[in-house]
Amino acid sequence: MRYLLVDRITEWKENEQIKGAKNVAMTEDFLEFHFPGNPIMPGVLLLEALAQLTGWLVAASSDFNDWFLLDKVTLCKFYGFALPGDQVVLEVKAVEGKEPGKRSYSATGLVEGKRKIVAEFEGNVVPLDSIEDRPAQMKFFKVLTRSQ
């Protein structure tokens, strides 16, 4: 099973930052068991949404030749829950890397202006066509950014 956790990309600046949104819907299957009668978006999926958004930044900045793969989370703090009906506003910014050959980012997720997650992470850049169909990803990016 694969979760696509970025519903929209609202802005991006090549190699620097990207903003997007994740809409938490009651119909998402992970909410059935997390937790029965008290649905909460799992924190690890918020982190994954930030990693996916970083992938879109790397892809768009490289003319869809590259993708980001998360390697290490150096900081991750949670400040509350993302619930059904919430829109999580995601933001990722490139930061100075600590390890040679790795890309580093800081990221936040907000619901109605309140922090839900803050993270710092690093990873590797891999050829996009080694993991995805490049033309399909280019088309999907246009859907996410509404830039038809």
The span from the CA of 100 to the CA of 77, in Å, is 25
Amino acid at 63: D
Residues in the chain: 148
Rounded distance between C-alpha atoms, residue 82 and residue 48, angstroms: 14
User: What is the number of other CB atoms lying within 10 angstroms of the CB of residue 18?
Assistant: 27
Question: What is the Cα–Cα distance from 108 to 102, expressed in whole angstroms?
Answer: 20
Catalytic entry in 34, 93, 102, 134:
34
As to burial, measured by CB atoms within 10 angstroms (0-12 exposed, 13-18 middle, 19+ buried), residue 117 is: buried
Half-sphere exposure of 80 (CA within 13 A, CB side): 13
Residue 34 designated active-site: yes
Q: Which residues are catalytic?
A: 34
